Amino acid sequence: MQNTRMKKHWTSFMALALLSLFAFVSCGKSDPDNTGTEKQEETEAPQEPQGNSDPERCLIVYYSYTGHCEEIVAALSSHLEADVLRIREADESADYNANGYKLGSDMINAINKAPDQAASYPAIKSVDKEAGEYDTIIVVTPLWHSRMAAIMQTYLFQNSNKLKGKNIGLVVSSASSGISGVEADAKRLLPDGKFYASSLWINHQNHSNRARLVKEWLEKNII
Ligand SMILES: Cc1cc2nc3c(=O)[nH]c(=O)nc-3n(C[C@H](O)[C@H](O)[C@H](O)COP(=O)(O)O)c2cc1C
């Protein structure tokens, strides 16, 4: 009798443990291009649902000037077990809204003129996380003048080698402009990244729906 009760408790415990494992997952798909080469489990551990089996290390790296990307990162973090790295400009007094967004425009023009030169990119503060230690990097960036925000471009330019062969997810916040220029920048800066099939674009009109949009995008691409 006591044995049966213990078994029941044990079964309920296991069911609860599995349920909580599925609710919050680490970065999942190790094969974003669906080439069919995902890692095999080495042990005969109990079967987990598709996409939740790899203890991949995930880094969310973002820049945010007015807070939209920061809010998107909060939504991502509520679904994904990931470290978070915020990129900051060296000159934190920079006013990108002044003079018709002139400073940001000048930065983007300097990069466009000589994208291969380190001197074209605005200085950023040093970071305390090593990109090379992660399997998946989710880049969350504002759009500036239809391109990737210059500060985030600096980070990707400086870390391009460390991000070779990594799974890359791209999330872009803009007021209204489409993100093809940002996607092109990401691919230019990370030519050897394994990009997920789709990027996530959140504009100001649908920013309030970010929780749902982020969840759907993660389910489709990453977890
Ligand atoms: C310098 C600069 C240039 C911008 N250029 C554009 C643009 O071309 N098109 C657009 O839709 N939004 C543009 N924006 C708006 C930002 O993309 C948008 O507000 C975004 O949500 C900002 O993210 P953040 O709040 O995380 O900084 C620009 C913003 C700045 C500061």
pLDDT in tens, 48-107: 334 434 568 999 999 999 999 999 999 999 999 999 999 999 999 999 999 999 999 999
Considering the domain 53-221 in this protein, what is its CATH number? 3.40.50.360
Nearest atom within ligand 1 for CA of residue 101: 1
Residue nearest (by alpha carbon) to ligand 1 atom 7: 145
Which of these ranges, 11-20, 131-140, 144-153, 195-204, has the smallest mean pLDDT?
11-20
Residue nearest (by alpha carbon) to ligand 1 atom 22: 142
For residue 168, what is the enclosing H or E element?
A: strand 167-174
Whole-model pTM?
0.83
Residue nearest (by alpha carbon) to ligand 1 atom 19: 175
H helices of 24-120, in order, are 68-77, 98-113
Q: Are 56 and 161 in contact (CB under 8 A)?
A: no
Given ligand 1 and candidates 60, 62, 64, 66, which is best to mutate, with the most ligand atoms within 8 Å of its CB? 66
* CA 14 – CA 9 distance, rounded (Å): 9
Long-range contacts of 30-35 (CB under 8 A, 24+ apart): 30/54, 30/56, 30/135, 30/167, 32/167, 32/194, 32/195, 32/196, 32/197, 32/221, 32/222, 33/194, 33/197
Average pLDDT, whole number, for the chain?
85
Residue 8 has pLDDT above 60, yes or no: no
